[in-house]
Amino acid sequence: MGNLCSSERDPFSQPGRPLGTTPPAPTSASVPAAAKAPRKVGGPPRTLGGSTTGSGSTSTTAAADDARARAAAAAEERLQKSKQGGGKLKAQLDQRRGMTDAEALRQASETEQRQRAVDQSTQALSHS
């Protein structure tokens, strides 16, 4: 397996440099072409942020107002759809949401007491 991952040549067959010496320094550095080209900046100045006072464009404010109105209309439509009847399960859920913690605990307690009474009566009938 010795020659499987290595070359057949001896790695020390070529002359190297003495220990403690450095390779010769390059005479010139290469500069990428993109660094030499000047950057181009153009177009009209734009104001950042939500304020449109001063030199703000009226078309951009109209588009923003239109988008805001469409978003509000979509939100209203979703709200109306959620308020529509959802059947028996939605009615039960709404009833649970309307209960306070004390009412929910009282209802759970009554249910548990009724279940115990049924269990006791079935146990009494099975012994007789």
Report CA 45 to chain centroid distance, whole Å.
Answer: 33
pLDDT value, residue 116 = 97
pLDDT bracket for residue 70 (50, 70, 90): very high
pLDDT in tens, 98-122: 888 888 899 999 999 999 999 999 9
Region 46-65 average pLDDT: 69
Q: Which residue has the tokens 């709404």?
A: 94
Question: Does position 57 have pLDDT exceeding 60, yes or no?
Answer: no
Phi-psi region of 87 (alpha: psi -120 to 50; beta: other; left: phi over 0): left
Cα–Cα distance measured from residue 76 to residue 85, given in angstroms and rounded to the nearest whole number: 16
Question: Does position 73 have pLDDT exceeding 70, yes or no?
Answer: yes
Does the pTM surpass 0.85? The reply is no
Using only the alpha carbons of the chain, give its radius of gyration. Answer: 41
Structure tokens at 94: 């709404």
Cα–Cα distance measured from residue 22 to residue 16, given in angstroms and rounded to the nearest whole number: 11
> By percentage, how much of the chain surpasses pLDDT 70?
86
